[in-house]
């Protein structure tokens, strides 16, 4: 699992997706969030798109399988910066 100096975590997350990609993720009802010096793919609680984070995981994973560049980028980001979350989302645990 990657470890970060506290101040670097937000810097890494801020560069994970560009503004347009963040807008697409938000419109789909999910996002990348900081959690205990790590990152997680979670549903956006204020939206009713997904009832659970696991549903958001299934959605993103299915889009990766379809070849979506955005979702592949998220998979690569998690693999690099949050291996544990990558394994949870993409079933490599």
Range of the domain at 72: 6-90
- 49 domain residue, yes or no: yes
Token pair belonging to 43: 């549903």
Q: What is the pLDDT of residues 33-62, one digit of tens each?
A: 988 778 999 999 999 999 999 999 999 999
C-alpha 23/C-alpha 52 separation (Å) is 20
Number of domains in the chain: 1
- 75 domain residue, yes or no: yes
- 61 domain residue, yes or no: yes
Is residue 2 over pLDDT 70?
no
Strand-pairing partners, residue 35, are 38
- For a pLDDT cut of 90, what percent of the chain falls above it? 71
- 1 domain residue, yes or no: no
Whole-number pLDDT of residue 84? 93
User: What does the pLDDT average to over 84-92?
Assistant: 91
C-alpha 38/C-alpha 46 separation (Å) is 22
C-alpha 40/C-alpha 37 separation (Å) is 10
- Global pTM reads 0.84
- 43 domain residue, yes or no: yes
- 82 domain residue, yes or no: yes
CA-closest candidate to residue 88, choices 38, 47, 26: 38
Do the Cβ atoms of 34 and 13 come closer than 8 Å?
yes
Token pair belonging to 25: 């993720």
- 86 domain residue, yes or no: yes
- 55 domain residue, yes or no: yes
Is residue 9 over pLDDT 80?
no
Is residue 13 over pLDDT 70?
no
């Amino acid at each position: 699992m990657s470890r970060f100096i506290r101040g670097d975590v937000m810097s890494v997350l801020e560069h994970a997706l560009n503004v347009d990609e963040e807008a697409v993720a938000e419109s789909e009802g999910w996002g990348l969030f900081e959690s205990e010096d790590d990152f997680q793919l979670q549903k956006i609680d204020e939206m009713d798109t997904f009832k659970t984070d696991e549903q958001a995981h299934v959605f993103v994973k299915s889009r990766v399988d379809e070849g979506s560049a955005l979702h592949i980028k998220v998979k690569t980001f998690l693999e690099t910066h949050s291996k544990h979350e990558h394994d949870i989302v993409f079933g490599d645990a």
